Each structure stands twice: as structure tokens, then as C-alpha cells.
Amino acid sequence: MKQTMKHNLLAGLAALIPATTLLGAEPKSPTPLPNTTRAARPLDPGREFITNAKFGIFVHYTVEYAHLLGKPEPAVWNLDAKADAFDVKAFADAVEGMGAQYVTLTSFHAAMYLLAPSKVMVDAGLAKHQAKRDLIGEVADELNKRGIALCLYVHPTDQHDLSREERALFGWGPEVNGLPGEKLGQWPNPKWDDFLLGLFKEISLRYGKRVAGYWIDQHSGKVFPDAGRLAVALRAGNPDAVIWQNSGAYVPAGLSLESAWPACEGGDPSHGEKDQCCILPTDNAWFLGKKVQIPAPEVFRGVVRCAGCPGQKSGVHVALTPYADAYAPPVKQMMDDFGKLWRERKVSLLNTKPSKILQLEQKSNPWEVVATDSADGSTVYVHVMIPPDGKALHLPPLNDSRKLICVSLLLGGNEVKFKQSDEFLELTLPADMKWDPVDTVVVLKVGPAFEPGVILSENAKLEISSTCGHDVVANHARLFSGEKVPFAFHTDSEKNPWAKIDLGGVRTLRTVEIENREGEQERTKGLVMSISEDGQKWEEVWQAKSWVTTWIARMTQSSGGTVTSGRKARFIKLETRGESPRPLVLKRVTVFGVM
């Protein structure tokens, strides 16, 4: 279920930052606030911490539906009363109980009500838009001392929520018949730019590393000009701060995806996302929710699926906004239920990466199974969220010729039987066990990776059994160079087409990677590989048992019960055999080993 702030005309109403200086003037130094107590920090939740985090909580503690599109007065929100009423400890208890690694809080949102004091606001004539209490600082310190990072939501284009008089401070004209006038929201506006950059810089300098990152929203079609300035201002006090930009909105204006990662407002717990996404579990999406629409198990599975998504960084936002003193009881119960699931399984998620040892191709939605690797590469955690019909789970083979040492269930530690080959991995539950309806975590202890060696085929020569009109001789060298072409060679249709590779000398072969052209199952299935030192006497060493886009053939040799890596050869022959003629077509072959 995807929802966005845009659907409620709220996309431009969220900005979550403390303040800095007047209209872009250089701030002198961060000013300690009398009501902020700096807490001891047991960790430094910097870029690496956020990169590896699995989920955080997105909080929109602000007035709702203030987007007035240029009407004379924005919605009134008693900023000081709301800031003073917020129970920081109760909030931190709930966040910690759920297991979140970070919180993203609206520093300001609708009507630009900033949850902290700000000299920049005062000097700009917006004194009523800054709170007396430094709620941001207090939340940062309380979370940080518990090992939880604080990030802030910010927004460059919230001017539409200012009053008529406040808009005039920046040269914007009045509304016409209740709608934006010619000068209302006129863009670009250098005076507004200076004010906003000063505000961002003030916030960053005040909180430094107490704030680990910033989430920049977008609004309508407006794009902050020379948007790289936003990142510079937000990193003024913490150069290591993570920055996200909503949907990559500011890339056209110069804020690169390397400097500010893409994020999105929506999220679907049925599949993983490599960029940060957001799950909206309550009836009020981003704001104060009172009813739960996505239960804890499904939210948890959404987090797990993203944890196992290749390329994923910074995890999932779960949008949960409290009352000033507590979460609504149904929402708090959902958080507690999630926290129990998290605590039981967090060893399989925290400090892990999407698995490269067991790479799963997701062919269904919802994703049924994902895998994560431990930091040291000794353990693979298989998360089975939609179990198979029987006791056995069929998976692809482990990469790098890793061998299983033992397999067990995370919860309970029961042994799991397994079968392993170069073509598949099969895990079977004990007869008296059932798959967990939420997430069965199977722990695979694995041996070290097979070391492939160096590339031996860069200057190899190719000979093929025949040619045809589709074959381009100039592409033959691309079989080894890595230059991408649809196919590097194409034989004529034969009963036994072949390709011979000459490495130029006898080498110790360890691995041969063979990449197929997409859709060539009928032409290369059952591919056979043989090797030779002299090109006369051949030994068959491998045959494809099933068709995949890329085959990885490991060259091993058994002697006296011992398996060693490497086979001596100068020539490699790849061929298909059959009663019906067919061509042989391959895209790339890379040979690894020792010179």
C-alpha cells in the first residue's frame, strides 16, 4: 500500500531543522541552549551506522493540513505548548522498545513551526515560528545515549504556509481571490534562499554529530536552485551527515545522488527496496495515527525484505507519530509486537549485508525468501517468510564454492538437514517442526570462499567449429574483454557445435565463468566443458545441469581423498551435443586461476 504526502497536498509541509543565522550571514558559533543537557554518547552514529541500519521511525510531530495554497492565514498551532508537552523519555522508551536504529523527526513542517529556538527565525521576522524549548536537542541526547541516531526532516519550499505578512518579508505578493497571486511563491527567490541556507547551517552547527542525517523533502514543481548548497549547509556542523533527497528531486538542480541518497515517501512491505523507503502502518499515514492498518508481522517482513535486497542502504522508515505524551494504545501495541519479533531475530539483521554468498532471484511478489550475510562472512541467515508446501526448501547453490559446515534454526537451535551440490541447496526441517508463519530464520555456517585467482583469459584466442551470417569475427575478442555485446560468437546449426579457447600456455585453472545471451536456453542447455594441456588429449570436467544466465564452474581435483583447487590446462573446449542441430552462442567467458 503506497501513500504519499502529495495525495493530501502535504508534500511541501515538512522541514525538520533547528536554526543558524540571519538570511545567510555567517554564524559565529553554536550557542548552547540553557534547557539542553548533553548526554554521554556510547557510539558515533555516523554515515556507516546509518548505511547499515535496517529501520528507523519517521515522526511528523506538527500541525496537520496547514497547506493553504496562499490563503491569508495558515493554520494556528500552539508551538510552545506542543513542544513543552512532548514527553521525550516516553517517546525514547517506545522507540527503543521497538528496536529502531534511528529516528527522523520533523524539525519543522507545516507552517514552518520549528521545534527549537532560532536566531535566524527571529532575525528574519518569524519569531513565532521557533519554540522556546529545544525539543530537537533533548530528543537527540535522549536517543543518542541509548545508541539510537537522530535525523531531521527538512524542506526548502515551505513558504506557502506563511501568512500574507510573512510572505511579504521575502517579496512574495498576496493571494488573488484566495488563490496564489502572480508573485506568490515566485521562484527562484534569493532572499528566501539565503534565509533557508542560514537556517539549515544554524541547525547543523548547533547539533553537530548529535544529528546524524537529514531528509530533504520536495514540493510541487519547485526546485531549489543550485541545490548542492543544501548539502553544504546541512553538513556545516557534521561533515559525515547522511542526506536523503525525496525521489532524487534535486538532482536536476545539482544535488547528486552520491551527496544525497534517493529516498521515497511510499513503501510496499511485500518486496525489498534498495533505496530508503517508508511503510505507513496507521490510519493517518504520516501524522498522528490512532488505528493500525498494517500489523506488526507484515511491517517486520517489510524490514526483513529490504535487509536482504541487493544494494540496500539505510533501511526502512516506519511512519509512526505519537501524541505529546504517548502513542495511541493500538499503535503502541503494534510497536511492542514488532519489538518482540525484532529482539528474537535481530542477530540475523543487525550488522549484516544482503547476501552475496546465497544470491536469490526474486520471481514472485511478495518475496518469499531473502538472505543476509554476517559481517565476517561466516554465516548466512535465510529468512523464510512464505514457507514452501512441504518441509524442504530448495535454493540455488552457494557462491564461491563455499561448503556448509552446519545448519540450524535461529529460534530454538534445532538442527536442519541439508543437501548441497554445485547446482542446488536443499534445507529440510525436522519432522516435528513447522515453518514460522512470520519469519523462519535458518542459520547456515559456511566455510571459506573459493579463491578464483587472477584473470587468465584477457589475451586468449578463440576458435569455433563453424560460422554463419550472424557471426562477426571482430566480436570474438569481446568474449574475453568484458566489452558488452549481445553475443561474442555464433556458430552455424550443428549437432556438435564447439568453441575452443587457447590461453597461450599451460595454466592452473580454478574458475571459469560462462555468461549466456538472454533467452538462449535451447541453444546452450547441457553445455559441456573439457580441458587439455596439448589440444589433443581432452578431459571432460564440467557439464551444466540446469540453465542460468551465468554459469560458474569450479576446477577441483581429488587425490587420496583430498580435494584441491586447480586443474592444469592450456585449452578449454565448450560444446553442446544432441540429435538435433543447433548453433552455439555465448556472450562472455572469463577464466581465473594461477599463471
CB 113 within 8 A of CB 79: yes
User: Helix 135-144 to helix 190-207 angle, to the nearest 10 degrees?
Assistant: 40
Q: What is the CATH superfamily name and number for domain 454-594?
A: Galactose-binding domain-like (2.60.120.260)
SS3 content of the chain, % helix, strand, coil (to 5): 25, 25, 50
pLDDT band at 175 (very low <50, low <70, confident <90, very high): low
In this structure, the dihedral spanned by the alpha carbons of residues 371, 373, 374 and 379, taken in order and rounded to 10 degrees, is 80
Q: Which of 26-40, 286-300, 425-439 has the lowest mean pLDDT?
A: 26-40
Nearest CA-CA partner of 218 in 192, 169, 255: 255
Per DSSP, what are the bridge partners of residue 582? 494
- Reply yes or no on whether the pLDDT at 26 is more than 50: no
**Hey, which CATH number is domain 353-446, 2.60.40.1220, 2.60.40.1180, 3.40.50.300, 2.40.30.200?**
2.60.40.1180
pTM for this model (two decimals): 0.75
- Give the model's pLDDT for residue 31: 38
- Reply yes or no on whether the pLDDT at 406 is more than 80: yes
Nearest CA-CA partner of 317 in 331, 302, 330, 295: 302
Write the secondary structure of 204-257 as one string of H (helix), E (strand) and C (coil). Answer: HHHHHHHCCEEEECCECCECCCCCHHHHHHHCCCCCCCEEEEECCCCHHHCCCC
CB 511 within 8 A of CB 456: no
Q: Does an H or E element contain 188, and which? A: none
- Structure-block grid coordinates of residue 425: 541447496
Query: Max Cα separation, the chain?
Result: 92
- Reply yes or no on whether the pLDDT at 185 is more than 80: no
Q: Which residue has the higher pLDDT, 102 or 29?
A: 102
Rounded Cα distance between 132 and 34, Å, is: 10
**Overall average pLDDT of the 422-433 stretch:** 92
Q: What is the CATH superfamily name and number for domain 5-348?
A: Glycosidases (3.20.20.80)
User: Helix 88-98 to helix 329-345 angle, to the nearest 10 degrees?
Assistant: 40
Note the pLDDT tens digit of each residue in 360-399: 989 889 999 999 999 999 999 999 999 999 999 999 999 8
150 φψ region: left (φ > 0), alpha (ψ -120 to 50), beta (else): beta
**Overall average pLDDT of the 325-341 stretch:** 97
- Give the model's pLDDT for residue 8: 33
Rounded to the nearest integer, the mean pLDDT of the chain is 86
Q: Where are the domains of the chain?
A: 5-348, 353-446, 454-594
- Reply yes or no on whether the pLDDT at 559 is more than 60: no
Note the pLDDT tens digit of each residue in 505-527: 999 999 999 999 888 888 998 99
**Overall average pLDDT of the 32-45 stretch:** 44
Nearest CA-CA partner of 353 in 372, 333, 379, 377: 372
- Give the model's pLDDT for residue 167: 80
- Reply yes or no on whether the pLDDT at 459 is more than 80: yes
**Overall average pLDDT of the 232-261 stretch:** 92
